[in-house]
Amino acid sequence: MKKIVAFAAALVAGCSAFAIDAVTVMTQAHDVEKPAFTMSKVKMDLIEKNGVLQESRVVTEYGREKDDLSSIVMIFNSPASVKDTRFLMLENGPGKDDDKFIYLPSLKTTRRIAASEGSKSFMGTDASYDDLSTREVDEDEHEMISEKEEKNGYTCWVVKSTPKDPKSSQYQYRINYIDQETNYPVYTEMYDKKGKLWKTLTLEKLEKRSGETGKIYDMPIQEYMKNVQTGHSTRITIVQLKLDSEIPDRVFTSSFLNTGK
C-alpha cells in the first residue's frame, strides 16, 4: 500500500500535440519530494466482493529516503493470525531488482522474496509484491492520453505507461491520472496481459503534513485498491504519522526482521 515507493530520461513518442510531454509528467510524479523518514500506524482493511469487511489489520511502518533510494519496514501488530510478521523492502536503483524479505513468526525465520514471486499477493491483500516497488520512469514507454481530465476532484494529466520489456511487469500497461497541482498519481488502472482491466488504485485522501523540520509534504493518507476481476479490495489508512524524525539504519536490515528490535 503501501507506500508505498522511489523512482531518467526516456524517448518521447506521439506527444508533440501537448504542451507537456508524458515523460515529463511521469518524471515529475517520480520526483515528488518525500520525507527523509516516516513512522506511521496503518489500518489495513481487507474487503469482500459484497462489501463486507473480511479482516482489519494494524501495521507499524517505517520508511526512509536515502541517496534517492527507498527503504520500507512493515510490522504487523494484529490480528493474531499475522501478528509479528515483518517485511523489509530495499530499493537498489536502476536496473536492479529491489531486495524483499519477510519474517514469518510461525517458522521463526526470515526469507528472501524471489523476483519470480513478484506477482503473488502481499499478505492476502490486493497488492502484489511488485506493486510495493516503484518502477523507474525509463522502464516504460509513456503516452499522453489527455492533457486535462477531471478525476475524483483533481485536474489530471492522463498517461499510458507500457513496459519496454514485457517480462519486467505483471501488467500489459497502466493508465495513470496525475494531479496537476501536486504531481501525485491520484488514480491508476492496471491491465492484465490480455489487456483487460485488472486492478484500480484510488488515492482517497491526500493531505499536507508538517515534518519535524517544519517542511510541508503532500502525503497520501488513504488509498483503495480493488481487483475488479474478483471484486475483492483493500483499503489502507494512515491513522498516525510522524515525518522527518530520524530512524536508525539498523531498522532497515534483515537482522531487525529477526528480532523486531
pLDDT digit string, tens, across residues 113-133: 998 999 999 999 999 999 998
Phi and psi dihedrals of 62, rounded to 5? -120, 135
Identify whether the C-beta of residue 112 lies closer than 8 Å to the C-beta of residue 89.
no
Measure the CA–CA gap between 255 and 236, rounded to whole angstroms: 27
Q: Is the pLDDT of residue 12 over 70?
A: no
- Helix intervals (H) in 122-245: none
Q: Is 32 helix (H, G, I), strand (E, B) or coil?
A: coil
Q: Which H or E run includes 255?
A: helix 254-259
Task: Considering only residues 147 and 96, tell me which one the structure prediction assigns the higher pLDDT.
Answer: 147
**98: which 3 cell numbers?**
529491489
Check residue 18 and give its pLDDT: 57
pTM of the full structure: 0.90
Identify whether the C-beta of residue 5 lies closer than 8 Å to the C-beta of residue 130.
no
Q: Please provide the DSSP assignment of 138-151 as one string.
A: GGEEEEEEEEEEEE
Query: CA–CA distance from 125 to each of 46, 167, 172, 237 (Å)?
Result: 7, 23, 21, 14
Identify whether the C-beta of residue 97 lies closer than 8 Å to the C-beta of residue 115.
yes
Q: E strands, 181-252, where?
A: 185-191, 197-210, 216-227, 233-243
Check residue 33 and give its pLDDT: 93
pLDDT band at 7 (very low <50, low <70, confident <90, very high): very low
**102: which 3 cell numbers?**
519477510
CA angle (132, 135, 138) in 5-degree steps: 180
At residue 137, what is the residue type? V
Check residue 261 and give its pLDDT: 83
Q: Is the pLDDT of residue 242 over 60?
A: yes
Check residue 4 and give its pLDDT: 37
Most confident of 3-12, 86-95, 131-140, 245-254: 245-254
Measure the CA–CA gap between 113 and 102, rounded to whole angstroms: 7
Identify whether the C-beta of residue 47 lies closer than 8 Å to the C-beta of residue 233.
yes
